[in-house]
Amino acid sequence: GDLAVVLAGAAATLRPGGIMVLASPGPLHPAELAFACREAGFFDVSVEWRPPPPAPGSHCTLTAVR
């Protein structure tokens, strides 16, 4: 899907050791996003939970290193 295309593009664009930071405000579970990042070639993927925004749903920041 679209997420795989975006992550593949980011993995192809970032130099080794480059860092990608994503914010997930909604329907995609952070574990699923972390898995997708690893499948795209990122490693050292971490999820940091943040206070939820005013709208309902979870909110996290994901950091992934290529």
Question: According to the model, what pLDDT value does residue 13 have?
Answer: 92
Name the nearest CA neighbour of 45 among 25, 24, 15, 19: 19
17's CB contacts (< 8 A; 6+ apart) are 65, 66
Residue type, 37: C
Q: The whole model's pTM is what?
A: 0.71
What are the residue ranges in the chain where pLDDT is below 50?
none
Question: According to the model, what pLDDT value does residue 66 have?
Answer: 79
Residue type, 65: V
Question: According to the model, what pLDDT value does residue 51 have?
Answer: 65
Question: According to the model, what pLDDT value does residue 48 have?
Answer: 79
Burial 22-38 (b: 16+ CB within 10 A, else e): bebeeeeebeebbebbe
Question: According to the model, what pLDDT value does residue 30 have?
Answer: 79
- Beta-bridge partner residues of 43: 65
Q: Which two tokens stand for residue 33?
A: 């996003």
Question: According to the model, what pLDDT value does residue 12 have?
Answer: 92
